[in-house]
């Protein structure tokens, strides 16, 4: 929580504050829950995705309530109600998006605590096999649900397996992650920068940076979070350049050739009205931000350009 406050301005997002979140700077951005059919269906789907985590919690809560001493049952009740309150807060404050992701910091510790309390509440005098069987059952339940995680696991496995002619490839076996020519371009891109100067990166392969040579600020969700008074998004390349220069970021790198893999063709459907307002705003901000970068590429001095990626010097104009 201390690290989160130092980096993001809040001890626990969004329950104890939004910190440097984009909605803090722009009151017109409303991420709160909407009471309509689309929002209800979206929340139901979120719960389905998160069931492998929530179900063990409820099972252990009920189980522990009946096997523990009466004076200890209050612990199970308080923890369960606290977790439910946290979930309800997330639903309201984030519009019901990524409940599994944001709830993990307080749901998983509650599950672990319930395991400890449940094992502790067993009467070991009933037989040597009773406690051991109970412990193994609970451990299997917890680790089984953890390994499942969510319904996307099978999709991930499916995407990692592909058939190439008469060969079956799994993950990165027998395949090149990045072609040598592209690795060479990325090395040349960074060598065009003076060492030890800051650069904002919106590239499709940010992991190819040598992070020891330059302070690299990899931007994930433009406008999602930024230092006060908030990064200007969709307000033109000049305002974006002024904001970055004020924070000692002189250069920007952008994969304009494929829009850093975030194209309207792929993600344009996320702008439809039924999409979660948080996700929809993030996508719109990303499109606007990339347009600002394209404008910078037309007005500022380009120190590197390989036909796909450019590096622009924000201090100098063309």
Residue bearing tokens 């996320």: 270
Q: What is the pLDDT of residue 126?
A: 58
The side-by-side arrangement of strands in the sheet containing 249-254 is 216-218, 198-202, 249-254, 310-317, 300-305
The one-character DSSP state at 260 is: G
Beta strand pairing call for 216-218 and 249-254: unpaired
Query: Which among 88, 90, 81 has a CA at the least distance from the CA of 13?
Result: 90
What is the span of the domain harbouring residue 135?
31-157
Q: What is the mean pLDDT of residues 242-259?
A: 95
Q: Which two tokens stand for residue 166?
A: 């008469």
* CA 49 vs CA 42, 256, 308: distances in Å: 11, 35, 37
Overall number of domains in the chain: 2
User: Mean pLDDT of all residues in the chain?
Assistant: 80
* Residue 129 falls inside a structural domain: yes
Whether the Cβ atoms of residue 251 and residue 304 lie closer than 8 Å to each other: no
Shared domain for 98 and 184, answered yes or no, is no
* Residue 199 falls inside a structural domain: yes
Question: How many CB atoms lie under 10 A from the CB of residue 227?
Answer: 12
pLDDT-above-70 percentage for the chain: 73
> How far, in Å, CA of 282 to CA of 191, rounded?
32
Shared domain for 264 and 190, answered yes or no, is yes
Q: Using the CB atoms, write b or e for 151-166: b if 16+ within 10 Å.
A: eeeeeeeeeeeeeeee
pLDDT tens, residue by residue, 267-293: 998 888 777 777 888 899 999 999 999
* Residue 169 falls inside a structural domain: no
**Consecutive H or E run containing 124:** none
Model confidence at 234: pLDDT above 80: yes
Shared domain for 190 and 153, answered yes or no, is no
* Residue 5 falls inside a structural domain: no
Angle between helices 37-67 and 73-94 (to 10 degrees): 170
Handedness of CA 115, 118, 123, 126 (dihedral sign): negative
Q: Which residues pair with 225 in a beta bridge?
A: 21
pLDDT tens, residue by residue, 80-117: 888 888 888 877 777 767 777 778 788 878 877 877 77
* Residue 211 falls inside a structural domain: yes
Whether the Cβ atoms of residue 314 and residue 238 lie closer than 8 Å to each other: no
Give this prediction's pTM: 0.71
Angle between helices 37-67 and 128-148 (to 10 degrees): 160
**Residue 180 — pLDDT band, cuts 50, 70, 90?**
confident
Q: Which two tokens stand for residue 249?
A: 């970021």
Q: Is 191 helix (H, G, I), strand (E, B) or coil?
A: helix
Displacement of CA 23 from its chain's centroid (Å): 17
pLDDT tens, residue by residue, 116-145: 776 676 665 555 556 666 666 666 666 655
Shared domain for 244 and 140, answered yes or no, is no
Among candidate residues 103, 126, 157, the one where a domain is terminated = 157
Among candidate residues 100, 122, 157, the one where a domain is terminated = 157
């Amino acid at each position: 929580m201390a690290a989160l406050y130092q980096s993001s301005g809040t001890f626990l997002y969004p329950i104890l504050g939004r910190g440097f979140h984009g909605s803090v700077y722009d009151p017109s951005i409303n991420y709160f829950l909407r009471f309509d059919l689309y929002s209800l269906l979206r929340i139901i789907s979120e719960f389905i995705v998160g069931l492998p985590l929530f179900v063990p919690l409820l099972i252990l809560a009920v189980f522990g309530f009946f096997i523990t001493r009466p004076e200890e049952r209050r612990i199970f009740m308080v923890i369960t109600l606290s977790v439910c309150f946290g979930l309800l807060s997330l639903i309201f404050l984030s519009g019901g998006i990524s409940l599994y992701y944001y709830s993990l910091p307080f749901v998983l510790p509650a599950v672990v605590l319930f395991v400890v309390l449940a094992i502790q509440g067993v009467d070991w005098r009933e037989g040597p096999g009773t406690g051991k069987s109970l412990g193994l059952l609970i451990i299997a339940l917890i680790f089984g649900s953890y390994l499942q995680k969510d319904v996307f696991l099978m999709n991930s496995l499916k995407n990692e397996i592909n058939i190439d002619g008469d060969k079956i490839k799994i993950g990165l076996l027998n395949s090149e992650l990045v072609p040598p020519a592209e690795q060479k371009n990325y090395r040349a891109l960074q060598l065009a920068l003076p060492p030890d100067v800051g650069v904002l990166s919106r590239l499709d392969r940010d992991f190819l940076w040598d992070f020891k040579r330059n302070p690299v600020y990899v931007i994930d969700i433009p406008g999602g979070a930024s230092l006060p008074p908030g990064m200007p998004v969709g307000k033109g390349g000049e305002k974006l350049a002024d904001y970055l220069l004020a924070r000692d970021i002189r250069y920007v790198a952008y994969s304009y050739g494929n829009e850093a893999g975030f194209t309207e063709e792929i993600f344009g459907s996320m702008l439809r009205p039924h999409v979660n307002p948080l996700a929809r705003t993030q996508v719109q901000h990303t499109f606007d931000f990339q347009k600002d970068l394209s404008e910078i590429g037309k007005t500022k001095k380009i120190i590197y350009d390989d036909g796909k990626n450019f590096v622009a010097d924000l201090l100098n104009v063309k």
